[in-house]
Amino acid sequence: MGLAQYADDGLFSPRKIADALRTTSEEIARTAGLGKDAIQRKDRVRSDKTQRRLREMTEIVNKVEPRFGSALMAYAWYRSEPLSGFSGRTAMQMVREGRADDVLDYIDAIDAGIHA
């Protein structure tokens, strides 16, 4: 799924992300490591932190979607599959810890044939 489908007026939209992934906006907030108010108050949705976390989550899901065949399956991987080399943490846990770049590097390494 293209990143533009997750956006509304040039910003990542928790509602659009939730619709695409067949879940709720509240669940999207939790999986991105955000509080409920971050997706309910317009000023918080527009904040740098909220937009960064939503972007990181969608970048990761988008990057692995081709190998899983759907955004929904990629989202399930993001939430539940332990990543080797990260003490069994999932991509979701890594994003919540502010380590999305490590997840993206991990995916790039796997894609390049380097086993993590």
C-alpha angle with apex 9: 105 to 17, nearest 5 degrees?
50
User: Can you give the pLDDT of all 116 residues of the chain as single tens digits?
Assistant: 577 788 888 899 999 999 999 999 999 999 999 998 888 888 888 999 999 999 999 999 999 999 999 999 999 999 999 999 899 999 999 999 999 999 999 999 998 888 65
The model's pTM is 0.89
Q: For residue 19, list its beta bridge partners.
A: none
Distance CA 71, CA 66 (A): 8
